[in-house]
Structure formats: C-alpha cells, structure tokens
Amino acid sequence: MTLVWRHLPRPLCLVTSTLRILEMRPFLSLGASWKSVTKLGLHTRPKMPPCDFTPEKYQSLGYNRVLEIHKKHLSPVVTAFFQKPLLLHQGHMEWLFDAEGNRYLDFFSGIVTVSVGHCHPKVNAVAQKQLGRLWHTSAIFFHAPIHEYAEKLAALLPEPLKVIFLVNSGSEANDLAMLMARAHSNNIEIISFRGAYHGCSPYTLGLTNVGTYKMELPGGIGCQPTMCPDVFRGPWGGSHCRDSPVQTIRKCSCAPDCCQAKDLYIEQFKDMLNTSVAKSIAGFFAEPIQGVNGVVQYPKGFLKEAFELVRARGGVCIADEHFWGFQTHDVLPDIVTMAKGIGNGFPMAAVVTTPEIAKSLAKRLQHFNTFGGNPLACAVGSAVLEVIKEENLQGNSQEVGTYMLLKFAKLKDEFEIVGDVRGKGLMIGIEMVQDKKSRQPLPQEEVNKIHEDCKNMGLLVGKGGIFAQTFRIAPPMCITKLEADFAVEVFHSALTQHMERRAK
C-alpha cells in the first residue's frame, strides 16, 4: 500500500558536494542519559536538528533477553533491519528513541504508516477518551464514531466513490476488493503489475509480484502479472516520462506532450490482454506509485489508457493507495483500497467503492467484519483526518517533499552509484546502481552498509526494489525543511564514506 497524499511532489535535500565538518551533539533537553547517535568519524557527523521532547527512561526487558524471547517465540522469518536490530522504546512526532538512549529521525514511518507523527497529541487524546468510553462493538450495533468517520472519509472522495467497508489491514482490504471485482463482473482474472505489493494473505499473494513473497505452494488463483512500466529500469523510458520535477538519466526525443515509452508500455499491456487472460476479466490492481518496488513511477498517461482497456474487457479498476494518488493520473477508479496512514499506525483499513459495485457484492455475500470499524479505530481515523486538515499537512508534504526531492536529486550528479531519484510528495526512492551506464543494481551488501551508516548517524530509512537496491524515504507529514536538510546531509556522508571504502 502506497502512502501518497494528494498532489504531493517529493523533494530531497541536497548536501553540498564538499564534505562538511559538522558535529553531532546531544540535545540538552534530553538529559545526560539521552544522546544523539554519534558513531562515525568527526568529518561525517551532520548536526542533528533539535527536539524538545524528553522521553521516559527505558526500564523494560534487557536487549539480550529480547533477543532470547524473539528467537524462541516469534516468527523465524528474518525481517529486522540492521546487523544489530534496534530495540525501540518511544516515539514523538518524527522522532524515535531506542532503549540505549539514542535518538533517530524516522524517515520510514513504520513502513510508510505513521502519517501525522508518532503519538501525535491530538490523536493520543482522542484515543484515550474513546478508550474510556467504548473500546469495541461489532456492526450489529450502531455507534457514532463509525458514522462520523464514514461521513468525513466519503467527503474526501469524488463521486461515485461513496460506499465504505471498514476492515483491519491492507491485505484484508485488497482481499475484499478482489471479491468485489469478481462479484460485480462475474469474471475471475485480475491483473497486477510485476513488482507490485498488495499483501501477503492467500488471496493477495496472487497480486503481489515480488519474488521474496512468492511460494512454491498454490495460491492466488486467477491473478495475472503484467510488465511494470518502469521508466528507469524497464525496457523503455526517457527524460520527459514522469509527472515529477525529477526525471530519469535516460534520454529520449519525445516532446513534452507525448511519451514514446508510454505508448510502448501500452502496446505491451494490450499484448498481455490479447494473449494471457480471458476475453472478459474481473479487474486491474495498481498502486499509483509502487511502494515496495522502490517508489516506481509510471509514464504520464499510462494508467488512464490502461484503465480504458480494462473496462473494455468488463473489468473494474482498483487503486491501492491513500488520499489520493489516482488524481495525479487523471483517472477515477471503481474501487479504492487504503490502510496504513489512515490510522497513523493503528490497525485499520478501508475499501471505498460505488453503490453499484457494493450492491453486487451484497447480492452474493453477507459480508461481515468483527473488528473493522470498531469505535476506537474510527475515533483514531477521524482524529487523523482532522489533524491533516488543521495542520495543513498535505501542503507541508508538497512543500517539504518537493524541496527534499530536488536536493536528493543532486546526489545523482556527484555519485556514480546513485542511479535514480524519484517520487512525489513525501514518498521518495533513491535507486543504487553499480554504474549509471549499465544500471545494474548495487550489490545488497553494499546497500546494507550505506543503510547501517545512515542509522549510525541518526537517520532511519527503508529499503525496497526487486533487488533491495532502492532506499525508500517516507517520513511523517509533519517534517520540516531543517530535518530534510539533515536527512540529505546524512545520506551524502554515508555515500561519501562508502565511496572511500570502495577506493581502498
């Protein structure tokens, strides 16, 4: 699920090409036991921006005990970042604090989920108030929070997207959307892009086309992958393809109002429809910007033409996203799924569709969800929407995001291993390559070292892409330009240190 907020281009701060000699100081407000992360040499320590929050002292399980319990009782699938996984203790807005007293700037937001900031005071207050009033009652009873939230959410979506189904996670939302598409169309096959991530449930694994999530066991029947129109790594792409202030390093002769790459990817999409699926299909899933695949943006106009082709085959079009990236493609989906940021980390999700499609499902299924739309989730969801509006966080995302994207983009000019910088709003991808000519992915061990160096300087970013070669940057919407500057400077220092390692 991609976190894209309406009309949000994403900038990145550029660090000067000359290596800055900056110190990293603990903030006085944190006291002696809480300090900034200072683990690299003096010449690579950007100054961390101030924070006026004092966290509680960590008094829980020791690190070794945590490792012991994790190994014995939790999933054996290795998911934790870093050689020594972080033991986090507390969060405040864009900041995280670990058990050792280190402070970090969170530029991955709990995998693109913490939208308005960790433990936002208003969201906390609303949750605490609702917690003391009514935690839970299923949809067999009415309660005001669900109706208040439904009205607020529906007001933000264009007609005829006005019928809301509330569930608990993005995978569950996409499961339901698949069921809706099949019930409404009376067809089976659903198309999704290669590189797409739409969940890990038995149904949605068919839509998810990232190799690490695939299994040898059968599942996801009736799902058909198609080529992702990736203008950087795909077969076609040029210098005018993206709806973004930052374009690829690939050259083309297209005029600003046309895109040869888009036309070629559409021809491939037509070929897939003519050869790989039935004459009538159920639907097409698309993230307006791919998240897990490394913030991949499609050519301008591609989704609009793809939606028309899908509808001509009887299928419905599903946008897997938030608030509302589909608008930047000039399309109107039949179904919109959303999760992650709508609850600021609280487990809630939604499917929004038309009355016609909702009625098609109701004729064939008595859909029920025990926890979806419970009073606590809906109170939190309403508070998140209010904070976004009151604090003009969409405007902040556009302004700070564009500022940061443009600064990050300058790293391409200085470092041969920075192949592409892309994004929109506060969702940015930095794709690492061995060299710009080949565009071969930077080996994972090298990406991991840069990732560790960023963490050691106090910056947390994500990773993505088919080869785990892309850094994913998606901070909470409350970040400032000062913090964006710090992030770019840390990244610059990490790249500089890595190039020095390579030269030895």
Q: Token digits for 370?
A: 């025990």
Provide φ and ψ at 320, rounded to 5°.
Answer: -100, 100
pLDDT tops 50 at residue 320: yes
Amino acid identity for residue 294 in this structure: G
Do 306 and 194 fall into the same domain?
yes
Most confident of 194-203, 236-245, 311-320: 311-320
What CA–CA distance (Å, rounded) separates 247 from 406? 11
**Nearest alpha-carbon partner for 476 in 94, 53, 90:** 94
Give a yes or no: residue 218 inside a domain.
Answer: no
Do 111 and 199 fall into the same domain?
no
Full domain range(s) for residue 418? 28-116+391-503
The predicted model gives 204-211 an average pLDDT of: 93
The answer to whether 2 and 337 are in contact (CB under 8 A) is no
- Residue-wise pLDDT tens digits, 325-336: 899 999 999 999
Most confident of 202-206, 217-221, 306-310: 306-310
- Percent of the chain clearing pLDDT 70 (strictly above): 91
- Percent of the chain clearing pLDDT 90 (strictly above): 80
pLDDT tops 50 at residue 31: no
The predicted model gives 8-26 an average pLDDT of: 32
Give a yes or no: residue 487 inside a domain.
Answer: yes
3-state secondary structure of 352: strand
| CB environment 284-298: b (16+ within 10 A), e (fewer) | bbbbbbbbbbbbbbb
Give a yes or no: residue 81 inside a domain.
Answer: yes
Do 315 and 457 fall into the same domain?
no
What CA–CA distance (Å, rounded) separates 26 from 127? 32
Do 332 and 398 fall into the same domain?
no
What CA–CA distance (Å, rounded) separates 204 from 217? 14
pLDDT tops 90 at residue 281: yes
Which of 2-16, 287-301, 423-437 comes out lowest in average pLDDT? 2-16
Q: Which residues pair with 164 in a beta bridge?
A: 352
Do 274 and 401 fall into the same domain?
no
Place of tokens 């106009």: 301
Give a yes or no: residue 283 inside a domain.
Answer: yes
Q: What's the distance, Cα to Cα, between the start and end of the chain in Å?
A: 41
- Residue-wise pLDDT tens digits, 346-382: 999 999 999 999 999 999 988 889 999 999 999 999 9
Domain with residue 233: its CATH number is 3.40.640.10
What CA–CA distance (Å, rounded) separates 301 from 246? 17
The residue among 317, 338, 359 that closes a domain is 338
pLDDT at 466: 93
Place of tokens 């701060």: 13
Give a yes or no: residue 402 inside a domain.
Answer: yes
Do 320 and 180 fall into the same domain?
yes
The answer to whether 293 and 471 are in contact (CB under 8 A) is no
3-state secondary structure of 65: helix
Give the 3-state secondary structure of 168-234.
CCHHHHHHHHHHHHHHHHCCCCEEEECCCCCCCCCCHHHCCCCHHHCCCCCCCCCEEEECCCCCCCC
Place of tokens 């007001």: 155
Do 111 and 187 fall into the same domain?
no
pLDDT tops 50 at residue 340: yes
The predicted model gives 473-500 an average pLDDT of: 97
The predicted model gives 401-412 an average pLDDT of: 97
Q: Which residues pair with 98 in a beta bridge?
A: 88
List Cβ neighbours of 226 (8 Å cut-off, separation of 6 or more).
191, 192, 193, 194, 268, 269, 272, 276
Confidence of residue 475 (pLDDT cuts 50, 70, 90): very high
Q: What are the angstrom distances between the C-alpha of 251 and each of 46, 239, 260, 294, 334?
A: 35, 5, 11, 21, 35
pLDDT at 44: 62
Give a yes or no: residue 371 inside a domain.
Answer: no
pLDDT at 308: 98
Which of 38-52, 125-139, 167-181, 218-232 comes out lowest in average pLDDT? 38-52
Do 244 and 321 fall into the same domain?
yes
Do 332 and 192 fall into the same domain?
yes
pLDDT at 215: 82
**pTM, two decimal places:** 0.90
Give the 3-state secondary structure of 237-269.
CCCCCCCCCCCCCCCCCCCCCCCHHHHHHHHHH
pLDDT at 323: 82
pLDDT tops 90 at residue 67: yes
The answer to whether 483 and 16 are in contact (CB under 8 A) is no
Give a yes or no: residue 360 inside a domain.
Answer: no
The predicted model gives 337-347 an average pLDDT of: 95
Domain with residue 396: its CATH number is 3.90.1150.10
Do 315 and 177 fall into the same domain?
yes
pLDDT tops 90 at residue 38: no
Confidence of residue 42 (pLDDT cuts 50, 70, 90): very low
Which of 2-16, 124-138, 392-406, 482-496 comes out lowest in average pLDDT? 2-16
Domain count across the chain: 2
Do 108 and 192 fall into the same domain?
no
pLDDT at 26: 34
pLDDT at 79: 85
Give a yes or no: residue 15 inside a domain.
Answer: no
Do 203 and 312 fall into the same domain?
yes
